[in-house]
């Protein structure tokens, strides 16, 4: 799933390639991906892309004041195409292609564009056409952006204060902090040497400061690594940069302990016992059920 660093990189990638170009047309292949009907998606045709920005994990293409807002969700991705002029019309219901955005041909006659794809059977990729991106419900509800200057240690202290929830879930909650998902919350907690099950309200001032440092450093490093990469190379870069997420069974590169996993109904988390939980493995309900 693309999280803040990947979406930030896609934002820069699209800004370089799409700004200044007119939209030739948008093909919505997966009709359930389109969440708005007024203004119609066809009204983007002929408008020029004037800016690309990010809100949390949302991509926002400003097209002469009308916005195409994209949320890639869990299994969505963006694929840049240098020339779509020969692309075949797409039939709904076949393959991962959800939306195709065609840009006007350049001087060389190439008609570039991009495609939004979504793998798997759970279709959550979402596209909105709106005059005001702040009216997209997921954007309206976003918490502060961890890369914004206003995201200070004090701000984080206010966020965790009084919250009787586990820190892992709190970090992933887009209404609390924007842009962090399952992968980077694992990475942040490993960097902060903190148990994912720690109750937010119990953090000391020093731990809040460590967590703040871990959030900002982890995300900035990932943004830097992803900067300037082509959309197609982002997934591999994200994977190679992760130190604990999806690395259960491998040695921790800080202490050498074996990275462990806790599984839930539809996700899992990874952590290093020595770095994060005083050497004690966390209870894994799935595992204990298997052992009964
Ligand atoms: Zn470790």
Q: Is the pLDDT of residue 290 over 70?
A: no
Task: Answer for the pair 254, 235: CB distance below 8 angstroms, yes or no.
Answer: no
> How many angstroms does the Cα of residue 93 sit away from the middle of ligand 1?
45
Task: Tell me what the mean pLDDT of segment 240-262 comes to.
Answer: 96
What number of other Cβ atoms are within 10 A of residue 191's Cβ? 22
| 288 pLDDT more than 60 | no
84 Cα–ligand 1 center, Å? 47
Output the CA 25–ligand 1 centroid distance in Å. 50
Banded model confidence at residue 287, pLDDT cuts 50, 70, 90: low
Separation of 102 CA from ligand 1 center, angstroms?
47
Q: Is 93 left (phi over 0), alpha (psi -120 to 50) or beta?
A: left
Contact status, residue 162 vs residue 198, Cβ threshold 8 Å = no
Q: pLDDT tens for residues 171-182?
A: 999 999 999 999
Inform me whether the pLDDT recorded for 191 exceeds 70: yes
| Averaged pLDDT, 120-145 | 95
Q: Which of 177, 175, 189, 178 is nearest to 217 (CA)?
A: 189
Q: How far apart are CA 58 and CA 72, in angstroms?
A: 8
| Cα 157 to middle of ligand 1, angstroms | 26
Report CA(197)–ligand 1 centroid distance (Å). Answer: 17
User: Ligand 1 centroid to 198 CA: how many Å?
Assistant: 17
Task: Using the mean position of ligand 1's atoms as its centre, give its distance from the Cα of residue 247 in Å.
Answer: 12
pLDDT category at 286 given cuts 50, 70, 90 is: low
What is the Cα–Cα distance from 157 to 284, expressed in whole angstroms? Answer: 29
């Amino acid at each position: 799933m693309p999280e803040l660093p990947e979406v930030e990189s896609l934002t820069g990638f699209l800004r370089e390639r799409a700004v200044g170009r007119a939209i030739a047309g948008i093909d919505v292949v997966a009709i359930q991906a389109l969440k708005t009907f007024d203004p119609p998606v066809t009204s983007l045709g002929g408008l020029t892309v004037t800016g690309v920005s990010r809100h949390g994990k949302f991509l926002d293409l400003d097209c002469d004041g009308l916005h195409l807002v994209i949320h890639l969700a869990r299994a969505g991705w963006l694929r840049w195409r240098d020339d779509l002029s020969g692309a075949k019309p797409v039939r709904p219901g076949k393959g991962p292609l959800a939306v195709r955005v065609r840009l006007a041909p350049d001087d060389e006659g190439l008609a570039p564009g991009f495609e939004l794809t979504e793998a798997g059977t759970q279709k959550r990729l979402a596209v909105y056409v709106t005059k005001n991106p702040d009216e997209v419900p997921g954007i309206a509800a976003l918490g502060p952006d961890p890369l914004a200057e206003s995201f200070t240690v004090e701000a984080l202290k206010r966020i965790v204060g009084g919250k009787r929830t586990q820190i892992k879930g709190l970090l992933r909650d887009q209404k609390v902090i924007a842009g962090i998902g399952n992968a980077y919350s694992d990475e942040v907690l490993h960097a902060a040497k903190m148990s994912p099950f720690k109750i937010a309200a119990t953090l000391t001032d020093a731990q809040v400061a460590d967590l703040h440092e871990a959030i900002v450093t982890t995300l900035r490093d990932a943004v830097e690594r992803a900067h300037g990469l082509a959309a197609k190379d982002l997934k591999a870069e994200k994977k190679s940069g992760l130190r604990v997420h999806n690395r259960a069974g491998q040695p921790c590169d800080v202490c050498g302990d074996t990275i462990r996993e806790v599984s839930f109904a539809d996700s899992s988390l990874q952590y290093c016992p020595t770095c994060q939980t005083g050497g004690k493995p966390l209870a894994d309900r799935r595992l204990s059920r298997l052992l009964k």
